[in-house]
Amino acid sequence: MNNNSKSYIISELKRVIKELSKDDLSSRIVLSEYDEDISPLVEQINHLIERLNEKYLTLKISESKISEKDSWYLSLFKKNPQPMWVYDSISLSFLAVNEAAVKKYGYSQEDFIRMKLSDISIDTDSVFLQNKLDNFPKTIYKKQKLKNDSIIYVESISHSLDFDGSEAILELSYDVTDRKHYEDVLRNSQDRQKLAIEGADLGTWDWNVITGEVKVNDRWSEMLGFKPTELKPSFNMWKNLVHPEDYDEVISAITEHLTNETLGYEKEYRLRHKSGEWIWVLDKGRVVDYTDDGKAHRVCGTHLDITEKKKNELIIRENELRLSNLINQAGDAFFLCDTSDYKIVEVNEFTCISLGYTRDELINKSVDEIDGKFYEIIKTPFNFTGKDNYTPKTIESFFKRKDGSFIPVEIRVSYLEFNSKKYIMGFARDITFRKKIEHDLLVNQFAIEKAREAIYWIKSDTSIVYVNEAACKSLGYSKKELLKLKLFDIDPVFPKESWDQHWAKTRELGSYTIESFHKRKDGSIFPLEILISFMSFEGEEYHCAFARDITERKKAEEALQRSERLLKESQKIAGLGHFTVEIRSGIWESSETLDEIIGIDHNFEKNIESWLEIVHPEDRSKVEKFLSPYIIDNKLNIVSEYRIIRSKDKCLRWVHCIGEIIPDESGNVKSIMGTLQDITSRKKSISALRLSEARLSEAQRIAKIGNWDWDVLNNELFWSQEVFRIFEINPDQVKENFDLYVSKIHPDDKDFVLESINDALYKNHTYSLNHRIIPSEGKIKHIHAQGEIHLNKQGKPVRMFGTVQDINELKLTEEKLLASLNDKDVLLRELYHRTKNNMQVIQSILALQAYYSGNQEFAKLLKDTENRIQAMSLVHEKLYQSNNLSSIDLKEYITDLVNLLVNSYSGLINRVTINMELESIELLLDSVIPCGLIINELISNSMKHAFPLDRKGEIIIKLLKNDNDEIELTFSDNGIGVPDNFDFKSQPTLGLQSIFTIAEHQLNSKVKFQNINGVSFSMVFNNTSYSKRV
C-alpha cells in the first residue's frame, strides 16, 4: 500500500465517523479507483460499520419501543437512583441500563450493551439459578464485580417482562456490602457476647419500662442468693433491694439515661442478699428499643458481683495509705521505676526535696537522667525470668539534682512484680556526710591540722577535745591552752541554757550551719560561720565544728545591702519603666513601673491604639511618627518628651521616651525596645527653676548684686543682667570679657584688684574686696567683688565664679556711721574716765571719814564700802584703757582687783598666800561688775575671819570655761572654816547676803558653799545674760 492509499483511507474514515456521529447510517467508505489493493480492507471496514449500525439501530428501536409502551416506566427506569437494567433471559446480554448502573459499576452505556450479566457476576451459577425460578418478583443475594475489580454484595430484585417480543428480565440491584458486613459483625458479636456473659459470671436483665416487667437469667437470681423459681422479678422488686444510701444516686442515673442525657447507664451500688447482707454489684445497661413517640421501651443490662473487689479495694486503699505515709515520712528518697523503659512511676516527697524537682517533673523521667550509671548498675542484679531468681542489692551511686549538682547516695533496690508488670523499687539515702567522714578518715592528721578553717571537736559537757592549728591561730591560744577551755569560754554569745536542746538538734539533723562569735585570748570578738556536725565514735558523741572567720563577708554583705537598698530606692525615685512593641502585631509589653506611670492594670489591652489613647491629644502626632516607615526602615533611635493622660485617674504626666529598633536574625525590623521615665517632677522643677531665675534676677536688681562666671582657659566671661546694670553697659552692644572688666576699674585700685585676683588664681583661695569702678566718664562707683576658684584634676585653675555688688550708697552710709561712731567712742571713754574719777573721790572721802571717825567698827564698815567702790571703779578704769568699750578680759580684771584688795590687808600679806588659776575670758561690762563685787566679798571674809591670830593659810581662785561654754568661778581657803550646821544663806551679814543676791539676780547663777578643810565657794553662769551695748 502506497502513501496515497493510506492517506485516502484515513480521510475516508474521518468522513464516515463524522457522518455516523450525525446519525447518517448509510455512510460507507468508497473504493478508490486508482488502487484496488485496498479493496479487501475497505470491505472489512464497511462490514464492521454495518454491524455497528445494526447494534445502534437495535438500541434505538429498543428505547423507542419502551417509550411507546409506557413513557412513565421509562422515566422511572432512567431516573431511579438504584442501578437497573434489562437483559435477555436466555443469552444474559444487557438490553438496557440506567444512569445509576453506569455510575455505580463504572461502565458506559455502550460497554453494558456489549456485555452480559455474567461479566459482572462472581457466582455465575447464582445467575442461572435466578433465571430458573418461576415465581416473580424474586430476590436473591449475590456478589458482583465493578469495573475497577472491587467486589460488592447486592440484593437483586428481578421481574420478567416482554421486551420487543422476546422474554427479558428487569433487575433492580441494591448495594448491601456495608449491611452484610455489619450483619456478620453483629452475628459474631452476639456469639461472643453469649460466651462472655457465661464466662464473666454476669447476671443479665431485660426491663420493659412500660409494663415494669423484668426478665433475668439464672445468674442474676443466684447472685442474690435466690433460686430462679423463688423470685418474680419486677422493677419495684428491684428498687426494694437497693441500699437506702445508694438509692437516690442509682435512680438518678437511670432517669438521666432514660431521658437521653447519657449514652448508657453504669453504676456501682449495694443490693440486699437473701441472707440480709449487702453485696456490691456493677450495673450496666442501655435502652435498646423506643416507642413510636421516642420514649424508652426496653432497657437491657448486666449485673456483676464486685463484693470481693470492693473488699480488696478497701484493703488496698488502707495498705496504700499506710505505705504512702510510711514512705513519705521516711528520711530516705523513694522511687519506683518500670523495668520496661526504666522510667520513674512514683516518688516520695523527700526525693523531690533532695533533687530539687516537683513530683510531676520526676514522673516519667528516665532514671538515667538523675543517675547516669543506674542502668549499668542494676542490669545485672536481677534475672527477670522468675520471681525467685533475684536478691535485693545495696549499691552506691550519685544522684544529679535539678541544678546540676551531685549528691552521693546509697540505694537499696528490690524487684517488684504487680499486675503482670515488673518494677524496681529503690530507697536512696543521702550519704554526703558519711562520705565526708570516710574521706576525713582517709586523710591524714596533717591535712586536718593545716586546714584553713578552725576545727573543734566538742563533747556533750562542752569540753574541747581537739583543735587544729587554724583554731589556735584564730583565737591566739596554744593548743594546750585551748584543750583546757570549754565552749562557752570561746563563744560568749551562745546561750548556756539551750545547750541540751542544741545537742539534741544536732544529733537529730546530723549537721547544720549557724553563725556566732568567738572571743580571742586578747578579748577581741569576731564573727564566724560554723558548720556543726554530729559524730559518734567508739561510744562517744562529739560535735565537729568547722569555723570560718566571716568578718570580711559581713562587711561585704552590709555593703551589698546598702547598695541594693540604694539601687531599689534609686529606681523607685527615678520612676523608670521599660517596654517592648512588636512591629507586626502592634502588641506591647511593659514593666510594672511603666504600668504604674501610665496608670493601667493587668486587664488593660496593650496595643498601639490603646497607647495612643493615653497620649495627650496634642502630642499624638509626635508619637505616631515613631512608627512611621521612615523611622522603622532607617532603624532610627527614638528620643522624645511628651505628655500622657493616665488611664486610671486621668492625671496629666510628662514622660521621657527612649526607643531603639531591634532587628531579627535576618536583619529585618522585629520590635522597638525602650524606656519610659516619668519626668513630671523634672518638668515642674524646670518651670520652678525658670521662675526662680526670674525671681533671682529681680532680687539681684533690688539688692544690686550680680553674678559672673569666668572660663579662665578660654577667657570667656558671663555676666548676669545686674552686672551690666552696675557697670552701666548695654549687653546688646558689648560682649562681656575680662578685659572689659579691667578697663572699668579705677586706676588707683587696678593694681590692687589684679593682684588679689592673681593671688586667688595661683594660691587657690577665695578673694573678697571693695574697689572703685568708673562706669562712665567722670563718674565713680564703689563695688564689692568676691570670687572663688575651681581647679581641674591636675590642680590648675579652670573657672572662677563670683558676685559684684553695688555698694555706692552703702559706702556713703558707712562713712557717715563711722563718723558718728567715733564721736560716740570719744564721749563714752570720757564718761568711763569721769565715772572712775568720781568713784575715786568717793573712795577718798570714805577713807577720810573712817580715819576721823574714832570708831573702829564704823571704820571697818567704811573700809568694806571703800573696797566695793574700788571693785566697780576698777571696771571703768579697764574700759577707759581698753580698745573694746563693751567687754573686759576677766582674768586681767580679777588679777588687778586681788592685788588692790591684798594691799588693803597689809597685815596678812606675809601669812596668807593667794594663788590664781585663771583663763582669759572676755566678759561684758554688766557681768564683770557683779563678779568683782562677789570676789571682793569673798576675799574680805577670808582675810577677816579665816586666819585669826598668826595662822597662815592659802586662798585659791579658779576661773575657766567648761564644755557647755559656761563660766565656772571657784574660791576656797584652808582657814578655820565655820561651825557645823552653819547656814551661809541665812546669815544677816551684808557681805554674804550681797553674794547670794548678786549671783542669783544679776548673773542667774546658783551659789554653792562648802565647809571642808576651810570654806569653798563655786558658781556657774553664762555670758549671755546681757547684750553688747557698744
Asked whether 661 and 637 are in contact (CB, 8 A), the reply is: yes
Choice between 194 and 447, residue whose per-residue pLDDT is larger? 447
pLDDT greater than 60 at residue 374: yes
DSSP assignment, residue 942?
I
Q: Residue 868 above 50 pLDDT?
A: yes
Per the structure block, which three cell numbers stand in for 408?
A: 552521693
CB-facing half-sphere around the CA of 202: CA atoms within 13 A:
18
Residue 877's pLDDT is: 62
CA atoms of 107 and 389, how far apart (whole Å): 70
Q: Tell me the average pLDDT across 529-537.
A: 87
Does residue 713 register a pLDDT over 90?
no
Q: Distance between CA 80 and CA 101 in Å, rounded? A: 10
Higher pLDDT, 537 or 981: 981
Give me the pLDDT at residue 316, please: 76
| Cα angle, residue 880 at apex, residues 879 and 885 outer, rounded to 5° | 45
pLDDT at residue number 51 = 65
Which CATH topology does 575-678 take? Answer: Beta-Lactamase (3.30.450)
Mean pLDDT of 105-128: 81
Q: Mean pLDDT over residues 7-31, rounded?
A: 62
Is the Cβ–Cβ distance between 84 and 168 less than 8 Å?
A: no
Rounded Cα distance, 517 and 153, in Å: 98
* pTM value > 0.85: no
Whether pLDDT at 1002 is above 90: no
- Where in the chain is CATH 3.30.450.20? 70-180, 228-311, 330-430, 434-557, 575-678, 685-806
Q: Cα–Cα distance between 330 and 336 in angstroms, integer?
A: 15
Q: Flag whether pLDDT at 196 surpasses 60.
A: no
Predicted pLDDT at 34 = 43
CA-nearest of 771, 764, 762 to 744 is 771
* Cα 333 to Cα 362: distance, rounded to the nearest angstrom: 12
User: Per-residue pLDDT tens for 203-232?
Assistant: 889 999 889 899 998 888 888 999 888 888
Query: Quick one: CA dihedral 18, 22, 28, 34, positive or negative?
Result: negative
pLDDT in tens, 874-914: 655 655 455 565 678 888 878 887 887 777 776 677 888 88
Query: What average pLDDT does the segment 92-119 reach?
Result: 89
Average pLDDT over residues 280-300: 89
Q: What percent of the chain has pLDDT over 90?
A: 10
Take residue 901 and report the three cell numbers written for it.
584688795
Q: Are 367 and 352 in contact (CB under 8 A)?
A: no
More confident residue, 469 or 704: 469
Q: For 119-142, what is the mean pLDDT? A: 64
> Mean pLDDT lowest for which of 39-43, 59-63, 323-327, 492-496?
59-63
pLDDT at 1027 over 60: no
- Show the cell assigned to 301: 443490662
Distances (CA, A) of 181 to 348, 404, 524, 786, 820: 53, 60, 99, 116, 138
CA nearest to 295, candidates 215, 204, 208, 216: 208
* Amino acid present at 749: D
Q: Which of 869, 870, 851 is nearest to 859 (CA)?
A: 851
The CATH homologous superfamily of the domain defined by 886-1030: Histidine kinase-like ATPase, C-terminal domain (3.30.565.10)
Name the architecture of domain 434-557. 2-Layer Sandwich (3.30)
Query: What DSSP letter does each residue of 689-721 carry, written as one string?
Result: HHHHHHHHHHHHHHHTEEEEEEETTTTEEEE-H
- CA–CA gap between residue 300 and residue 197 (Å, rounded): 13
Q: Is the confidence at residue 499, as pLDDT, over 50?
A: yes
User: What's the average model confidence in pLDDT over 111-126?
Assistant: 81
Compute the average pLDDT of residues 675-685. Answer: 86
Helix (H) or strand (E) holding 198: helix 177-199
Short-list 183, 96, 169, CA closest to 128: 169
Q: Label residue 161 left, alpha or beta by phi (over 0 means left) and psi (-120 to 50 means alpha).
A: beta
**pLDDT at residue 851, as a whole number:** 63
Grid coordinates representing 27 are 455512510
- At residue 387, the pLDDT reads 47
Q: Which CATH number fits domain 685-806: 3.20.80.10, 3.30.830.10, 3.30.450.20, 3.20.20.70?
A: 3.30.450.20
CATH superfamily placement of domain 70-180: PAS domain (3.30.450.20)
Residue 558, classified by CB atoms within 10 Å of its CB into exposed (0-12), middle (13-18) or buried (19+), is exposed
Which has more confidence, 477 or 7?
477
pLDDT digits 0-9 by tens, 822-842: 555 554 555 455 555 556 556
Which carries the bigger pLDDT value, residue 868 or residue 424? 424
DSSP-assigned beta bridge partners for residue 347: 335
Q: Give the pairing type, strands 511-519 and 464-467.
A: unpaired
The predicted-structure confidence for 926-953, as pLDDT tens digits, reads as follows 788 788 888 888 888 888 888 888 888 9
As annotated, the residues of the chain forming the CATH 3.30.565.10 domain(s) are 886-1030
Residue 271 has pLDDT above 90, yes or no: yes
Average pLDDT value for the chain = 80
**Model pLDDT, residue 142:** 84
* Share above pLDDT 70 across residues of the chain, in percent, rounded to a whole number: 77
User: Which pLDDT score is estimated for 129?
Assistant: 47
Rounded to an integer, the average pLDDT of 916-929 is 85
Q: What was the pLDDT predicted at 27?
A: 58
- CATH number of the domain at 228-311, out of 2.40.40.20, 3.90.850.10, 3.30.930.10, 3.30.450.20? 3.30.450.20
CATH number for the region 330-430 comes to 3.30.450.20
**C-beta separation of 343 from 337 below 8 A:** yes
Least confident of 433-437, 474-478, 852-856: 852-856
